[in-house]
Amino acid sequence: MRTHTSSFKTEIAKLGRQQSAEITYTIDDEEITLTNEDLISITYTSNGALLKSVMQCAEIETYNEIPVGTELSFKWGIKVNNSIEYLSFSNFIVKEVEKQEDGNTYLMRCYDYLLKSMVDYESMSITYPISIRDYISTICTHLGLTFANSSDDFANYDKEILNEPYLDSEGNTLGYTFRDVLDELAEVTASCICINKDNELEIRYINETNDTIDGNYLKDINVNFGEKYGAINVIVLSRSADSDKIYYP
């Protein structure tokens, strides 16, 4: 959950609240900021599931065309006590641009840094055996990402991979992408793997925030709630035919 004040929760539930959004990006060393007057809409979603990698997505419609490959940041907020309290999101990369001929606007489809993992898995010149934690660190370095948990203990962090699991004996592809590998590593670590607000790849676990923002707060905002999970007390990993079971925690 993104950090917010109690006043933010109070204001978000009110009719007639004042909202604001900003998008910032750089082209040819010039920093450009788009505000409410430039923006038609921003639709934020996340793509993933429990024990998988989770990618944040944003569809942004503006009067300004933002080129494919551009990195941008955006924040959304509401007016609280005569100033805007913003929620900041991680950076996004523009993947697709579509001109909307009927309104002379541009629709950009953008994804967080997990987009960098949507490429074919290839050799990283690893010396095996290698621990799960060091393996994830190596993947991050290879993809140009920072691993937030490079020094942390997490489920199965010290278990070892004995040989290359995603290439054949001659080093040829078996059809995996790095995103596929991260999905399997999320299962191994009993976590969700995502990009955090600092644009780092993070092993993330469900935790209790003692805070709730539900449909009662968002009833006048265009928000859709998808499948809900919980409460989750334990994760059970089992082999085929349920021969062995590992409980976490």
Work out the average pLDDT over 137-160.
97
Asked if residue 246 has pLDDT above 70, the reply is no
Q: What is the pLDDT of residues 15-46, one digit of tens each?
A: 777 888 899 999 999 999 999 999 999 999 98
Cα–Cα distance measured from residue 132 to residue 160, given in angstroms and rounded to the nearest whole number: 6
Contact predicate 225/212, CB 8 Å: no
Which SS3 state, helix, strand or coil, does residue 182 take? helix
Contact predicate 17/11, CB 8 Å: yes
Cα–Cα distance measured from residue 136 to residue 138, given in angstroms and rounded to the nearest whole number: 5
Of 14 and 157, the structure prediction assigns the larger pLDDT to: 157
Q: Give me 181's structure tokens.
A: 């590998």
Q: How confident is the model at residue 237 (pLDDT cuts 50, 70, 90)?
A: low
Please tell me the predicted confidence (pLDDT) of residue 230.
61
Q: How confident is the model at residue 202 (pLDDT cuts 50, 70, 90)?
A: very high
Cα–Cα distance measured from residue 234 to residue 157, given in angstroms and rounded to the nearest whole number: 18
Indicate the average pLDDT of the chain: 86
